[in-house]
Amino acid sequence: MSGNTTKSISINSNHSPEQSEEQELSSESLEPPQSWRSNTATLKIALLVNLARNAPPVHRNAPSDILAELDEDKNVDAYAAAMRARNYEVLIREGNGHLAGWLEKVQPDICFNTCEGFGGESREAQVPAILEMLGIPYTGPTPLAAAITHDKPTTQRILACHGLLVPRFQAFNTPNDVLRPDMVFPLFIKPAHEGTGIGIHNDSIARNEAQLRNKVAQVVADYQQPAMVETYIEGKDITCGLTGNGDDVHFYPITEVDFSGYPHELEPIYGVEQKVDYESYYRNKCPAPLGEALTAEIRRLTHEVFLVTGCRDFARVDFRLTESGQPYILEINGLPGITPFSDLTLMAQAEGLTHADLVCNVLDAALKRYGITKLGLRS
Ligand SMILES: Nc1ncnc2c1ncn2[C@@H]1O[C@H](COP(=O)(O)OP(=O)(O)O)[C@@H](O)[C@H]1O
Ligand SMILES: [Mg+2]
């Protein structure tokens, strides 16, 4: 998930690979409680999470932000509380390699999926792939949509193909790839498939070829993936979120990131320092003062990006907006952060909703899509 998350990451605190299955679980027990089986009237939800404290060991010399997308117990407790407040039965489970057997045992009506994945090129697609294989309903993107939207070059190719405006881009597999002549400085460099500003720092803005090649070399070595190089779009950071499906979607107030609260030495970009290290310095304008026409246009674009990438239930689309009012699409977050402090949560709160309302809106979108009634019975 991308967006503000309250994280303090300690790579050294990772568990060993030999840890027992029970340790890998969050605070909930392995066996479902009696009420899970006996309370047949209510919806049974498996809340699937990836906790930073359960992450497998990362490679030596891994950058300190490598686990920044993983979750914390207190956030997981908030997702569970939102659904339990509706008297649903909720079991919390780590979305790891042991998931399939557990799901077959507990047979939930639906899974609420928040799993970012612990690693791999398509890590957000891993849990959806298990759920698709088992035929269990779940919230959020399919494996295909998750894999596409987690990969910035693939997403941008699809958006460009649909005539949607994205910054000019080139994916670099190595620092020595030939720079296309149409790629004009300043350029922006970020990992091809990360989120939460991971790998995005001041040096992501390159003003000459030496800076570009240095940053590409660092991204490729540290994150073990291609580097996405884009035209640097000077302008405002805008993000627009929705819940729902098809034409039945609800847009939350659009947010503009206000960079004035961050230390002056930080460039006005929404990288990992701004999102995690200086999270408490975050300021925004929500709703962003865009005027009616531009607000409608950003929403229209968000919806189109949501549809063409095949996302489901919720999403957040990030833009850069130039001074002349031209929006460029940076990415879609198919599994956006919904912690109590995430961007999407702040947007929901700006229209008077609570964090619990937002969690339930995501769930409701999925229930409606599957035709599952709130009592856990298929309609
Ligand atoms: N092409 C670009 N031009 C200008 N700024 C960019 C560009 N791409 C990314 N950024 C900056 O980096 C931030 C994070 O980029 P984004 O693609 O949304 O990655 P993430 O998945 O880490 O959120 C953006 O919000 C913006 O501030
Ligand atoms: Mg983003």
261-272 pLDDT, tens digit per residue, is: 999 999 999 999
Q: What's the predicted TM-score (pTM) here? A: 0.92
Nearest CA to ligand 1 atom 11: 269
Domains, the chain: 11-140 (3.40.50.20), 168-231 (3.30.1490.20)
Contacts of 142 (CB under 8 A, 6+ apart): 128, 132, 310, 312
Q: Which residues, in sequence order, are bridge partners of residue 264?
A: none
Confidence (pLDDT) at 295: 98
Confidence (pLDDT) at 16: 40
Instruction: Give the C-alpha separation, 55 to 34, whole Å.
Output: 30
Task: State yes or no: pLDDT of 9 exceeds 70.
Answer: no
Query: Angle at CA 250, nearest 5°, toward 290 and 257?
Result: 35
User: What number is the average pLDDT over the span 49-58?
Assistant: 89
Ligand in nearest proximity to the CA of 68? 1
User: What number is the average pLDDT over the span 226-236?
Assistant: 98
Task: State yes or no: pLDDT of 163 exceeds 90.
Answer: yes
Task: State yes or no: pLDDT of 34 exceeds 90.
Answer: no
Overall residue count recorded for the chain in this entry:
379
3-state SS, one letter per residue, for 274-335 = HHHHCHHHCEEECCCCCCHHHHHHHHHHHHHHHHHCCCCEEEEEEEEECCCCCEEEEEEECC
Confidence (pLDDT) at 19: 40
In whole angstroms, what separates CA 12 from the centre of its chain? 24
Instruction: Give the C-alpha separation, 110 to 24, whole Å.
Output: 21
What Å distances lie between residue 17 and 8, 42, 60, CA to CA? 21, 36, 15
Confidence (pLDDT) at 152: 97
Confidence (pLDDT) at 58: 78
- Lining residues, ligand 1, CB within 6 Å: 2, 167, 188, 190, 194-198, 200, 230, 232-233, 237, 269-271, 318, 320, 330-331
Task: State yes or no: pLDDT of 346 exceeds 90.
Answer: yes
User: What number is the average pLDDT over the span 190-197?
Assistant: 93
Confidence (pLDDT) at 15: 39
80-89 pLDDT, tens digit per residue, is: 999 999 999 9
Say if residue 235 is exposed, middle or buried (CB neighbours under 10 Å; 0-12, 13-18, 19+).
middle
CA of 245 to the centre of ligand 2 (A): 21
Which range has the worst mean pLDDT, 8-22, 110-124, 138-152? 8-22
DSSP 8-state symbol, 260: G
What is the identity of the amino acid at 208? N
Confidence (pLDDT) at 211: 98
